[in-house]
Amino acid sequence: MKKAKTFRPTAFAFPYVGVTIVFVIVPLILVLIYSLIGEDGSFTFNNFIDVFSNPENVNQLFKTVGIAALSTAICLVIAYPVAYILASSPFNKIAILSLLFIIPMWINFMLRIFALKSMLQMIGIGQSYGAAVIGMVYDFFPYMLLPIYTVLSNMDKSYNEASLDLGANGVKTFLKVTLPLSLPGIISGISMMFMPIFSSYSITMAMGDMNTSVIGAKIATLFEQDSYGYGSALSFVLLVIVIAVMLIGSALSGKTSKPIKGGKKDE
Amino acid sequence: MDTEEKIIELIGVEKSFGDKPVVKNLSLYIRKGEFVTLLGPSGCGKTTVLRMIAGFETPTKGRILIGGEDITAIPPYRRPVNTVFQKYALFPHLNVFNNIAFGLKLKKIPASEKNGKTIYRHFTKEEIAEKVNRALKMVDLEDYGYRNVNSLSGGQQQRIAIARALVCEPKVLLLDEPLGALDLKMRKEMQIELKRMHRELGITFIYVTHDQEEALTMSDTVVVINDGQIQQIDTPKEIYDEPKNAFVANFIGESNILSGTMLKDRLVKFLGVSLPCMDGGFHKNEQVDIVIRPEDIAISVGGEGQFKGEVISSVFKGTYYEMIVLADSYEFTVQNTSNFNLGTKVVLGVSPSSIHIMRKIRTINSFVGEVEDEETVWLCGGSFKFNNADETLEKGDEVIVKVPFDAVEILDDENDGVIGAKVKQSVYKGTYYQVQLRTDRGEDFLVDTPYEWNINDRVGINLIPEKIIVEKIDDAENEPITDSEAD
Amino acid sequence: MNKKPSSIVALIVKWLVLIIVLAAIYLPLIMIVAYSFSPARSIGDEFGTFTLSLYGKLFENEKLLSATRNTLVIGIISATLATLLGTTASIGIHYMRKKSRAIIDASSQITIVNAEIVTAMGFFLLMLFLRDTLLLPVNFSITWLIIAHTVITTPYVILTVSPRLKQLNPNTLEASLDLGAGPMRSLFTVMLPQLAGAMVSGFALAFTLSLDDFVITNINSIGADIETISTFVYSGIRKKLPSEIRALSTLIFAVVLISLIVYNIIKNKNAKNSKGDKK
């Protein structure tokens, strides 16, 4: 019964594996290699030394974390109540309603930023730190809303009922049950916004003043000026930060996300 | 009965979702300390009743009392009842201990009195720990306090859910199909456990299930519900031995249900044989349903008996054989410890005490309709042809349309019928099926048909013009014999 | 059942929150749409008379048209490639053992979570490496951008297709191979038809991600004179963008709305049909 040529369906993944190695793994290795090559082509740690010895870089990094944290926090504070309302009765029966909030996702973000910028200028808000934050919130809002909304609307309502049944009123039920159970959605929303802001120099450039920028802008400028070694070193530092944030995030959501469905064990 | 304390009372409770009635004018009381089961097929409204008692649903109409106090408008978190949920609803972000402690941490108890005012306080940490540990002990999971609830098996989760509800010391414990997700062996164990807890704690249990065996083995009282209405409230034994109608008889246990005529008190005729029975109080020649339980039929070769037949199938069921005996075109289901081979000519004996007579829910379908022209009448949302030579009816006359059970044609394709309907119930009556069809407007048709129809299937309805009777409404003799089809 | 006044107040407050947020989201877009019919220099100026002149100008602005064309070409080709690559990958990954699957999933994750700027630099350095170190005859071009977009959107296609694959009967591919169909034939006749819906969703996602991309396009078009809508708007937004950008925005907005409406109509129709089939 054996076929002449044995074929394993896993082979379907080979093209993707090849593409991933060439276009994902190799570039990351190249970032590391270029960051260790000096201007004369020899091996050196100078690029990294430059990165950390220049207080402007560290300063820039803190500023980036600052604007990312502020924008993300504001966005969360707006998106959570909206998601909560949308997932609750009677709003959850109006399918078009949640769609309305997400439609902007499909419109080119630069055009949306252009629209927002025009609007703000019309009401007298020029380029400023605040405008950049508004830009971030405006751009990332659907990405923050969607995961929270998904978690809330898929949440088994018997958890709520059980809490009410055991004597917790509406507010306590929200704080002790709904909020902790929606944590995976919150974490997912934050992760879809916080790190991407590091690269969102187009928004700070369009909306912010001269002092407002993110670390991504610095890297882009370095590459435009052909400082590949220095730029790579800074990129590599950013990569390490990304990995660290990713690990922390998955540790956090691993703790909370698994039990969200409740019920039976996986294995 | 009034001397005993009614812990829960439902008075004329109704509930509709949108315009769909789920619970219809339901009144019921439950005595303190009872184990009461609400039993019925899925979608019959039993869970809705439970959820109204818990406070998750508000009745559209009617009142609910707990301990004599009207709690209809009280939110669930202020009701002295606790619920064990169908899929447990254990909080996944809390461990076992904190799940059980959830209610205790919120509870306030009177601590002292000051100027005639009661001062309330929360339980202390030690008190909570002690109570939780006692609850864990009660459900045999003493060392599980710090386990993640998702690491527990279904049966263990079930026990935690029960402990979580009981630790709050409710006046009434509500259980919503709590054993539904467990395997058979686990279920049996938990049935015994629950029964033990009920005995030891003395708390009133209200238990919802669709499993008739579970209901009969565990309960003090069984409330059979169908279609949002109570069919019968009785002890398990009475429910089994004296079902009030064909639905209860069919739903509870195996039974032979036949149509017959009450000749006079204690004499019934069915399948062409007149038999003595124990029931009376029917009209002369009243059409009735007859229930005979399969284990109550004596089967023998050449022995005493009223029916001669032939064994056409026999299946071993572990402790007995279940045989189908064809006698005079009726297929009797018979259970006996000894086996009779296929083709054996047997005699079936039925003693007077094993014949149970029930009033028919309805002997003819009757509806209010309107004459459209000489040949058609409008009823139940469609116009049907009729041949009514006797009377001169005029267009626009309000009429009673009587539709005998055999005057209805059921069609596979809904669109082939004049009106569409959904199959609500199908009861085998030996030689035919009696099917209940519910139209989209909520009218019920009972139909005798040789075929089995699947419940919840959509079908079309046609009426045979020769068989339907159309009568003017002011005819005093012809009062409709229906149950309330017009709400 | 009478509602309590407090719950009516709560309902009103909830509606207010939704309406305020919706207004904040849509007001800028509505202004753009409105002013696309105005000759005004910028939004907020006196509206003037209703005119379609900006739409006329749009079709004369060669730079803007070419940016739009590039955006669409890159989007359509890269989304098609990503759909094919992602779908085949999903099938392969589906049949892998846990360990190999975990490795591939992790590398897909890298693309998704990595800072875009780092990904962009990676592509940039890869091109330098291929061109200057390996001396291959390649350079920054629209092809390079298509490759880059394909690579960054493929993991999203996998994320869309994989869950659907898990719902399928696991033995269908094996059955096809067992019955003598070759792997390619099995792929096209057995697997792809079952995954069609998920592939369409995956394509749509990849396409929108590609349209939305700025950083990767910006960095990897250094040295090559290629603009997309994103880079065009970016390069002009601090100074002055041509007014016809408003007409372009309006057209894009209209296309998005129409596609969503059509999509929802089809979805509802399908839902109804499948309901009918159950009967």
Ramachandran bin of B198, using left for φ above 0, alpha for ψ from -120 to 50, beta for the remaining angles:
alpha
Smallest Cβ distance to C215: which of A114, A115, A199?
A199
Same CATH topology for B3-241 and B254-359: the answer is no
Q: Which residues on C lie below 8 Å from B60 (Cβ)?
A: 1
Whole-angstrom CA distances from B165 to B56, B90, B100, B103 are 16, 11, 8, 8
Residues 6 or more apart in contact with residue C222 via CB below 8 angstroms:
A223, A224, C124, C140
Is omega for the bond preceding A90 within 30 degrees of 0, making it cis? yes
Chains in contact with B, where contact requires at least 3 CB pairs less than 8 Å apart: A, C
Chain-chain contact of A198 with C230 (C-beta, under 8 angstroms): no
Q: Which of residues 92-121 of A touch C (CB under 8 A)?
A: 97, 99-101, 103-119, 121
Count CB atoms within 10 A of the CB of residue C73: 14
Chain-chain contact of C85 with A220 (C-beta, under 8 angstroms): no
Q: Which residues on A lie below 8 Å from C100 (Cβ)?
A: 10
State phi, psi for C3 to the nearest 5 degrees: -75, 145
Label each residue of chain B as H, E or C: CCCCCEEEEEEEEEEEECCEEEEEEEEEEEECCCEEEEECCCCCCHHHHHHHHHCCCCCCEEEEEECCEECCCCCHHHCCEEEEECCECCCCCCEHHHHHHHHHHHCEEEEEEECCEEEEEECCHHHHHHHHHHHHHHCCCHHHCCCEHHHCCHHHHHHHHHHHHHCCCCCEEEEECCCCCCCHHHHHHHHHHHHHHHHHHCCEEEEEECCHHHHHHHCCEEEEEECCEEEEEECHHHHHHCCCCHHHHHHCCCCEEEEEEEEECCEEEECCEEEECCCCCCCCCEEEEEEECHHHEEEECCCCCCEEEEEEEEEECCCCEEEEEEECCEEEEEEECCCCCCCCEEEEEECHHHCEEEECCCCCEEEEEEECCCCEEEECCEEEECCCCCCCCCCCCEEEEEECCCCEEEECCHHHCCEEEEEEEEEECCCCEEEEEEECCCCEEEEEECCCCCCCCEEEEEECCCCCEEEECCCCCCCCCCCCCCC
Query: Which of C100, C125, C132, C218 should be substituted to probe chain A, the one whose Cβ sees the most A Cβ atoms within 10 Å?
Result: C125
**Residue with tokens 């002369």, as numbered in its chain:** B284
Superfamily of domain C62-241: MetI-like (1.10.3720.10)
pLDDT score for B476: 42
Model confidence pTM above 0.80? no
What does DSSP say about strands B108-114 and B81-84: parallel, antiparallel, or unpaired? Answer: unpaired
Q: Which residues on B lie below 8 Å from C1 (Cβ)?
A: 58, 60
Contact B129, A197 (CB under 8 A): no
Choose among B56, B62, B50, B49: nearest CA to B22: B49
Q: Where are the domains of chain A?
A: 22-53+229-255, 66-224
Q: Could you tell me the two tokens for C110?
A: 């890298």
pLDDT score for B176: 92
Smallest Cβ distance to B87: which of A166, A176, A263?
A263
User: Residues in chain C with pLDDT < 50?
Assistant: 1-2, 275-279
Q: Which residues on A lie below 8 Å from B102 (Cβ)?
A: 163, 166, 168, 176
**Residue with tokens 């096809």, as numbered in its chain:** C176
Q: Could you tell me the two tokens for C19?
A: 């309406």
Cα B34 to Cα B6: distance, rounded to the nearest angstrom: 10
Coil/strand/helix, residue C32: helix
Helices marked H in A95-128 — which ranges?
95-102, 109-122
Chain-chain contact of B153 with A177 (C-beta, under 8 angstroms): no
Chain-chain contact of C1 with B58 (C-beta, under 8 angstroms): yes
| DSSP states of A215-267 | HHHHHHHHHHTT-HHHHHHHHHHHHHHHHHHHHHHHHHHHHHHGGGG-SS---
Chains in contact with A, where contact requires at least 3 CB pairs less than 8 Å apart: B, C
Which one of 3.40.250.10, 3.40.50.300, 1.10.10.60, 3.40.50.920 gives the CATH number of domain B3-241? 3.40.50.300
For B102, name the nearest residue in chain A, comparing CA atoms only: A166
Cα B248 to Cα B232: distance, rounded to the nearest angstrom: 8
Count CB atoms within 10 A of the CB of residue A46: 17
Choose among C239, C110, C211, C116: nearest CA to A219: C116
Cα A101 to Cα B83: distance, rounded to the nearest angstrom: 37
Contact B48, B14 (CB under 8 A): no
Q: Running DSSP on this structure, what letter comes out for residue A107?
A: S
Mean pLDDT of A9-34: 90
Q: Determine the Cα angle at B321 with ends B318 and B323, to 5°.
A: 145
Q: What is the least distance, in Å, from the CA of B43 to any CA of chain A?
A: 18
Q: Running DSSP on this structure, what letter comes out for residue C12?
A: H
Cα B50 to Cα B52: distance, rounded to the nearest angstrom: 5
Coil/strand/helix, residue C39: coil
Q: Could you tell me the two tokens for C159?
A: 């994320």
Residues 6 or more apart in contact with residue A232 via CB below 8 angstroms:
A30, A31, A32, A33, A34, A35, A47, C121, C125
Cα A155 to Cα A153: distance, rounded to the nearest angstrom: 6
Coil/strand/helix, residue A37: strand
Contact B394, B371 (CB under 8 A): yes
Surface-to-core class of residue C161, CB atoms within 10 Å of its CB (0-12 exposed, 13-18 middle, 19+ buried): buried
**Residue with tokens 């002009």, as numbered in its chain:** C236
Which one of 1.20.1740.10, 1.10.3720.10, 3.20.20.140, 3.40.50.620 gives the CATH number of domain A66-224? 1.10.3720.10
Cα A226 to Cα B464: distance, rounded to the nearest angstrom: 92
pLDDT score for B139: 87
Q: What is the least distance, in Å, from the CA of C1 to any CA of chain B?
A: 6
Fold (topology level) of B365-486: OB fold (Dihydrolipoamide Acetyltransferase, E2P) (2.40.50)
Q: Could you tell me the two tokens for B269?
A: 């005729």
Q: Could you tell me the two tokens for A213?
A: 């920028």
Q: Could you tell me the two tokens for C232?
A: 């065009």
For B61, name the nearest residue in chain C, comparing CA atoms only: C1
Average pLDDT, chain A: 86
Smallest Cβ distance to A224: which of C182, C187, C222?
C222
Q: Which residues on A lie below 8 Å from B93 (Cβ)?
A: 180-181, 183, 256, 259
User: Residues in chain B with pLDDT < 70?
Assistant: 1-4, 361-362, 388-392, 430, 473-487
Residues of C with CB under 8 A from a CB of B: 1, 279
Whole-angstrom CA distances from B226 to A60, B84, B210, B459 are 71, 23, 11, 21
Q: What is the pLDDT of residues A207-247, one digit of tens each?
A: 988 888 898 999 998 888 888 888 899 999 999 988 888 78
Choose among A243, A217, A231, A213: nearest CA to A68: A213
Q: Running DSSP on this structure, what letter comes out for residue C16?
A: H
Contact C39, C55 (CB under 8 A): no
Cα A140 to Cα A146: distance, rounded to the nearest angstrom: 10
Q: Which of residues 1-60 of A touch C (CB under 8 A)?
A: 3, 7-17, 19-20, 23-28, 30-31, 34
What is the CATH number assigned to the segment(s) B254-359? 2.40.50.140
Cα B175 to Cα B85: distance, rounded to the nearest angstrom: 6
Q: Could you tell me the two tokens for C81?
A: 């490639």
Return the C-alpha torsion angle B281, B282, B285, B286, nearest 10. -170
**Chain Cα centroid distance, residue B215:** 11
Q: Where are the domains of chain C?
A: 62-241
Smallest Cβ distance to C121: which of A3, A206, A231?
A231
Count CB atoms within 10 A of the CB of residue B322: 16
Cα B183 to Cα B84: distance, rounded to the nearest angstrom: 18
Q: Could you tell me the two tokens for B147?
A: 């386990």
Q: Could you tell me the two tokens for C102?
A: 């975990």
Q: What is the least distance, in Å, from the CA of A181 to any CA of chain B?
A: 7
Query: Which of C108, C121, C152 should be substituted to probe chain A, the one whose Cβ sees the most A Cβ atoms within 10 Å?
Result: C121
pLDDT score for A4: 44
Contact C39, C48 (CB under 8 A): yes
For A29, name the nearest residue in chain C, comparing CA atoms only: C122
Decide if A69 touches C, using CB distance below 8 A: no
Cα B478 to Cα B221: distance, rounded to the nearest angstrom: 39
Decide if B85 touches A, using CB distance below 8 A: yes
Q: What is the pLDDT of residues B438-482, one digit of tens each?
A: 888 778 888 888 888 888 888 888 888 888 888 776 544 444 333
Q: How many CB pairs under 8 A join A and C?
A: 245
pLDDT score for A263: 34
Q: Which of residues 244-263 of A touch B (CB under 8 A)?
A: 256, 258-263
Cα A239 to Cα C119: distance, rounded to the nearest angstrom: 9
Cα A116 to Cα A127: distance, rounded to the nearest angstrom: 12
State phi, psi for B426 to the nearest 5 degrees: -145, 115
Q: Which of residues 187-226 of C touch A (CB under 8 A)?
A: 187, 208, 211-212, 214-215, 218-219, 222
Smallest Cβ distance to A104: which of C25, C111, C215?
C25
